[in-house]
Each structure stands twice: as C-alpha cells, then as structure tokens.
C-alpha cells in the first residue's frame, strides 16, 4: 500500500479530448492537446511541470519521446504500464512522488487512435509468455469476458437482465453528454435483444471503441494553495495485479478485491461513504464484479444491487459513470482509466452535466481495470475528495 499520500496531493487540472474520431492527427499531437487543456484548466504551463506520467499508448520511446516533444524539464518520470488502469496507477504514483518531494507538478496523459490504420497500438503488438498457451487456441477479448459472465451466472444466479441494467444507466447518463459517442437511451429489452457477441454478452454489453485522450495535473499542497482553480484532494490509492495463477483462476472476482480495501484504508473511509463511483466498464460484467469486489455489496449480490436504477444519477444508490462511461461515451485507445478519473473530478467540482450531477458530492471513487478479468489484470483504485472535505 502506498504510504502517507492522504491529502498530500491535489488534482488541479483535468481535460478530456472532445473528439471521438481523430483521422488527421498523430498520437503525440493528441497527447499535447490534452496536456495543454489540463494545464490551462489548472492555471499552469508546461514550464511548471516537473513530473510526467504516461503508459503504452505514448508513441516512440514512450515517456522520453513525449517529454522531449512537450519540452518538459523533469525531475520525475513514470511509464508504468498496466493497460487501461495505468492512469489510475499513475495518479497514485504521482501523489506518492509529490509526498516524497520528488516533484511538485505532475502531468499524466493518455491518447489513443484505434480507429486509425496508422495508430500506435502497443497492445496489438504485445507478445507474452502466455501466448503459446492461449492465443493459438483462438481466445478473444469478448470470449474471455463472456467466460467470466457465464461463471458468475452459474455461481450466483446473475442474469442477463441484471447486466443490462448497467448499460441502461450508462446510456441514461450519456444522453446529457454532448461528446458521448452513443447518446440514445436504451432499455433492458434493447440490451437483451441486441446481437450476441459472445454468449452471454450482447453487443450492448460491450464498450465503445474511440479515438481520443485525456490528461490530469497533480500538484503539491503548496502549489494548490496558489491556484484559483478548485482542486480535488487525493485521499487514498491502491493497486494490485490478479494473475491466472497457472490455471487456478476464479473468474468471479477481479483485482479490486485487493486494490479497493487498500485505497479505502488509506483514505480512512468506507464504501458506504462514497457519493459517486467511476468504475471501469469494458463490459457490463466488469462493472458488476468490480462493484462487489470494492465492497459496495456482498459477493454474488451485484445483480440485485444494480437493479431498479441503483446506478443512475443523481439519486441512485451508487451513481456511476455519469459521462456515459466506456459503454457509451469514450474509451480512447481501448484504455478507460483516465476518463474514470476525469468524471470523478467533474463530480467533485460540481461540473458534471446538471441532469446527472450528484448533489453535494463530497467523496468519489475511480477504479481502473487493465488486461482482462478472464485472464490477468492490473487493478487500481483511488479515493478523491472535495478540497474542503
């Protein structure tokens, strides 16, 4: 567990690229645009940045190439790669570095162009020790998540209708987001009647694929005090991998069973205290298992928990992904952790769309999942609070 970061760092700037299809720009330019947007939001400049964080979506020589491209003068750099959860990991690492005095202004960027033929998609080029045991037999991303969904259904009686409630909530929120890729509200029946992609997952159980990006700026308390922007306090962070355990794999839980408790302990709060949650939503089953693993309900009770509009803002039991999330709005570069942090920041600042703004939002959670809940993953959880909390 990270040590001593509660209140030691603040998110001062946040920015999400407004486009979902970017055919005319290279990845490094999108990184630069979101970086400039987040710094402007914070009231800072590139010259203020002394810490930089990026992951496998960064082109060229990763963080080194991007630091050169952006003209950064750094004392701290971190290129930790855990897939879609990387940017939640980076937020915790940046807070640790600031607490340790390694930097004062940390910039975290994401940019991905999966819709473009020339995209620098590192994930597509990875070769791991598992390939000769898995890839040769024709596994797929959808298929592995479907296995997790089917096992959860077998163990706990979870239904397709309950999974569909997650998509219904995301779509309800997305209709108010002018930048969301899919803005049409849907019903449970719509989800169930959409084509099967990999049984039991339907097309509407699956996330969107978009170009885009986002960035956040994390600063020390001393820097935060000098800014006019409302800052968001980093209260707690946890991260953990979950492996396939050489085949002894339980598909009904995620790495959130470890990252969540660590984040809650460091923040000194409980799941019952959370007003809003940004939860990684590559598929509806990802959300359901993560809700259980983070402690919002008991294991196996995710299906009943999400039913009846429980995830819908502003007054649901656990308002989640009020921008529409990866299921409806944005999943840039097939990496959704950054957007989870961005919407949590909007909620705490009171800057979410009015129709989905959680009243008096004081505490928010953002959670990222990288890899696959059907094989191996990197999970990361962060607890954030209002500056005056």
Q: What is the pLDDT of residues 287-303, one digit of tens each?
A: 999 999 999 999 999 99
For residue 3, being part of any structural domain is answered with no
Global model pTM greater than 0.75: yes
Q: What does the pLDDT read at residue 237?
A: 98
Residues 100-115 have pLDDT tens digits of: 999 999 999 999 999 9
Residues whose CB is less than 8 angstroms from the CB of residue 251 and which lie 6 or more positions away in sequence, other chains included: 147, 148, 151, 152, 373, 374
Residues 29 and 76 in one domain: yes
Alpha-helical (H) ranges within 252-328 are 256-267, 284-293, 302-306, 325-328
pLDDT for 134 beyond 90: no
Print burial letters for 273-297: b (CB count within 10 Å at least 16), e (below 16).
ebbbbbbbbbbbbbbbbbbbbbbbb
The answer to whether the CB of 355 falls within 8 A of the CB of 322 is no
Residues 196 and 223 in one domain: no
Cα 170 from Cα 30, distance rounded (Å): 26
Neighbouring CB atoms inside 10 A of 126's CB total 11
Residues 302 and 378 in one domain: yes
Find the mean pLDDT for residues 69-85: 97
Phi, psi of 374 (to 5 degrees): -90, -10
pLDDT for 121 beyond 60: no
Residues 311-322 have pLDDT tens digits of: 999 999 999 999
Token pair listed for 177: 């987001």
Token pair listed for 307: 């039913």
Please return the burial class of 101, using the count of CB atoms within 10 Å of its CB with bins 0-12, 13-18 and 19+.
exposed
Residues whose CB is less than 8 angstroms from the CB of residue 243 and which lie 6 or more positions away in sequence, other chains included: 376
The answer to whether the CB of 368 falls within 8 A of the CB of 110 is no
Residues 162 and 300 in one domain: yes
Find the mean pLDDT for residues 28-56: 98
Q: Which residues partner with 336 through β-bridges?
A: none
For residue 4, being part of any structural domain is answered with no
92 closest CA partner among 262, 242, 221, 257: 262
For residue 22, being part of any structural domain is answered with yes
Residues 53 and 144 in one domain: no
CATH number, domain with residue 321: 3.40.47.10
Residues 145 and 24 in one domain: no
- Across the chain, mean pLDDT equals 94
The answer to whether the CB of 148 falls within 8 A of the CB of 289 is yes
The answer to whether the CB of 28 falls within 8 A of the CB of 69 is yes
Edge-to-edge order in the sheet of strand 276-279: 76-78, 51-53, 105-112, 212-219, 10-16, 232-242, 377-386, 363-371, 276-279
Q: Which domain holds residue 179?
A: 133-210+236-386
Q: What does the pLDDT read at residue 117?
A: 60
Banded pLDDT at 227 (limits 50, 70, 90): very high
Cα 50 from Cα 91, distance rounded (Å): 15
Q: What does the pLDDT read at residue 149?
A: 98
Residues 196 and 150 in one domain: yes
For residue 181, being part of any structural domain is answered with yes
Token pair listed for 12: 């001062």
Sole residue written with tokens 């020790």 = 129
Cα 185 from Cα 247, distance rounded (Å): 40
Q: What is the CA radius of gyration of the chain?
A: 19
pLDDT for 131 beyond 90: no
The answer to whether the CB of 145 falls within 8 A of the CB of 133 is no
Q: Which residues partner with 258 through β-bridges?
A: none
Residues 6-36 have pLDDT tens digits of: 999 999 999 999 999 999 999 999 999 999 9
Residues 240 and 359 in one domain: yes
Cα dihedral 96, 257, 289, 209 in deg (nearest 10): 30
288 closest CA partner among 385, 123, 153, 125: 153
Residues 141-187 have pLDDT tens digits of: 999 999 999 999 999 999 999 999 999 999 999 999 999 999 999 99
Q: How many domains does the chain have?
A: 2
Which of 233, 264, 290 finishes a domain?
233
Q: What SS3 string covers 12-46?
A: EEEEECCCCCCCCCCHHHHHHHHHHHHHHHHCCCH
For residue 100, being part of any structural domain is answered with yes
Cα 315 from Cα 293, distance rounded (Å): 22
Banded pLDDT at 139 (limits 50, 70, 90): confident
Residues 315 and 184 in one domain: yes
Token pair listed for 363: 């505490």
């Amino acid at each position: 567990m990270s040590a001593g970061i509660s209140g030691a760092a603040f998110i001062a700037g946040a920015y999400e690229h407004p486009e979902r299809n970017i055919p005319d720009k290279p990845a490094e330019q999108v990184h630069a645009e979101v970086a400039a947007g987040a710094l402007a939001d914070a009231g800072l400049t590139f010259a203020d940045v002394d810490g930089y964080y990026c992951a496998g979506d960064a082109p060229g020589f990763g963080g080194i190439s991007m630091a050169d491209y952006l003209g950064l003068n750094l004392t701290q750099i971190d290129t930790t790669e855990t897939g879609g959860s990387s940017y939640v990991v980076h937020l915790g690492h940046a807070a640790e570095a600031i607490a340790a005095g390694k930097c004062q202004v940390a910039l975290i960027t994401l940019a991905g162009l999966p819709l473009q033929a020339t995209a620098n998609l590192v994930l597509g080029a990875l070769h791991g020790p598992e390939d000769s045991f898995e890839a040769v037999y024709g596994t797929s991303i959808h298929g592995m998540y479907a296995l997790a969904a089917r096992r959860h259904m077998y163990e706990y009686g979870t239904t397709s209708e309950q999974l569909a409630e997650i998509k219904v909530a995301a779509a309800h929120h997305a209709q108010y987001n002018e930048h969301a890729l899919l803005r049409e509200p849907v019903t449970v029946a719509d989800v169930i009647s959409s084509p099967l992609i990999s049984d039991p997952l339907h097309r509407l159980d699956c996330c969107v694929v978009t170009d885009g990006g986002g960035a956040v700026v994390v600063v020390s308390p001393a820097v935060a005090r000098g800014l006019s922007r409302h800052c968001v306090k980093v209260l707690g962070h946890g991260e953990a991998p979950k492996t396939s355990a050489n085949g002894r794999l339980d598909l009904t839980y995620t790495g959130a069973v470890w990252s969540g408790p660590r984040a809650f302990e460091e923040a000194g709060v409980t799941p019952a205290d959370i007003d809003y949650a940004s939860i990684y939503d590559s598929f509806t089953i990802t959300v359901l298992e993560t809700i259980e693993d983070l402690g919002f309900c008991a294991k196996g009770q995710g299906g009943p928990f999400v039913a009846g509009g429980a995830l819908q803002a502003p007054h649901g039991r656990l308002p989640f992904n009020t921008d529409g999330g990866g299921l409806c709005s944005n999943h840039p570069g097939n990496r959704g952790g950054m957007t989870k942090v961005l919407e949590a920041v909007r909620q705490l600042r009171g800057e979410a769309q009015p129709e989905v703004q959680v009243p008096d939002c004081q505490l928010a959670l953002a959670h990222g999942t990288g890899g696959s809940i059907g094989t191996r993953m990197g999970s990361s959880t962060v607890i954030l609070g209002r500056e005056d909390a």
